[in-house]
């Protein structure tokens, strides 16, 4: 069996799950020349519903910040406001329930890997959205979320992979297996959420 780095193992183990998420109509719509601001707003709102509770859970684990993870749910709220929604509308958006599969540092890093991996496709999405919607100012046009991801690019991804490799080098193999399982679960929950299958909705207070 060929040895691979932890970051490579994560990428290879989640390749198919990642492709499934990219196939979801709401995600493919981001690259459509017919996308309008209403469509963008609907997709960003859906992403926010997944991202916000997951980032809240990840904030409990200092190792997540240590590898360079940057929370971005606030950028989505900024974009939604720029696209015309009031703060009360944004606060009332559906959100996923507690991400119960993230229950230890290794699982948190697996989930963080999925979110930070969005950097890879963000430049293409950001360029297409800018061209389609004609927004030269990302904050004003509702594009700050994808703009932030795109700005980090491949250099940021390389730093993330090195940080992950260094973290797992100091841990037993079971921790990497836990991270891989968490990453696959994260992609699976994201896939279901973006399909608008409400299988992970926060209970009413």
Query: Whole-model pTM?
Result: 0.89
Q: Which of 3, 7, 13, 4 is nearest to 164 (CA)?
A: 7
pLDDT of the residue at 154: 59
Q: Which CATH number fits domain 11-194: 3.40.50.1110, 1.10.3720.10, 3.40.50.2000, 1.20.910.10?
A: 1.20.910.10
How far is 129 from 40, CA to CA, in rounded Å? 9
Q: Would you kindly state where each structural domain of the chain is located, as residue ranges?
A: 11-194
Answer yes or no: are the C-beta atoms of 178 and 110 closer than 8 Å: yes
Q: Which of 107, 116, 109, 105 is nearest to 71 (CA)?
A: 116
Q: Partners of 201 in the beta sheet?
A: 96
Q: How many CB atoms neighbour CB 3 within 10 A?
A: 6
pLDDT tens for the chain, 205 residues long, are 456 899 999 999 999 999 999 999 989 998 888 888 899 999 999 999 999 999 999 999 999 999 989 899 999 999 999 999 999 999 999 999 889 999 999 999 999 999 998 877 788 888 888 888 876 555 557 888 988 877 665 567 888 899 999 999 999 999 999 999 999 999 999 999 999 755 444 433 3
pLDDT in tens, 186-205: 999 999 999 975 544 443 33
Residues of 23-56 as b/e, b for ≥16 C-beta within 10 angstroms? ebebbeebeeeebeeebbbebbbbbbbbbbbbbe
How far is 193 from 6, CA to CA, in rounded Å? 27
Q: Which residues contact 144 (CB under 8 A, 6 or more apart)?
A: 75, 78, 79, 82, 138
Q: Which of 64, 13, 1 is nearest to 181 (CA)?
A: 13
Answer yes or no: are the C-beta atoms of 111 and 54 closer than 8 Å: yes
Tokens 């980090």 -> residue? 152
Q: Which of 162, 171, 69 is nearest to 111 (CA)?
A: 69
Answer yes or no: are the C-beta atoms of 141 and 81 closer than 8 Å: no
């Amino acid at each position: 069996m060929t040895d691979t780095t932890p970051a490579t193992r994560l990428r290879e183990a989640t390749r198919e799950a990642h492709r499934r998420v990219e196939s979801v109509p709401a995600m493919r719509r981001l690259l459509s020349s017919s996308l309008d601001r209403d469509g963008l707003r609907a997709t960003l709102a859906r992403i926010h519903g997944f991202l916000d509770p997951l980032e809240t859970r990840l904030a409990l684990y200092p190792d997540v910040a240590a590898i360079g993870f940057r929370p971005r749910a606030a950028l989505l709220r900024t974009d939604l406001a720029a696209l015309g929604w009031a703060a009360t509308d944004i606060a009332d958006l559906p959100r996923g329930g507690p991400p119960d599969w993230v229950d230890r540092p290794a699982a948190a890093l697996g989930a963080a890997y999925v979110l930070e991996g969005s950097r890879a496709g963000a430049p293409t999405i950001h360029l297409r959205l800018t061209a389609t919607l004609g927004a030269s100012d990302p904050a004003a046009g509702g594009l700050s979320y994808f703009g932030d991801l795109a700005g980090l690019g491949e250099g940021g991804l390389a730093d993330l992979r090195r940080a992950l490799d260094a973290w797992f080098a100091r841990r037993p193999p079971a921790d990497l297996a836990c991270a891989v399982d968490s990453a696959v679960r994260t992609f699976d929950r994201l896939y279901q959420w973006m399909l608008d299958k409400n299988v992970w909705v926060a209970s009413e207070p």
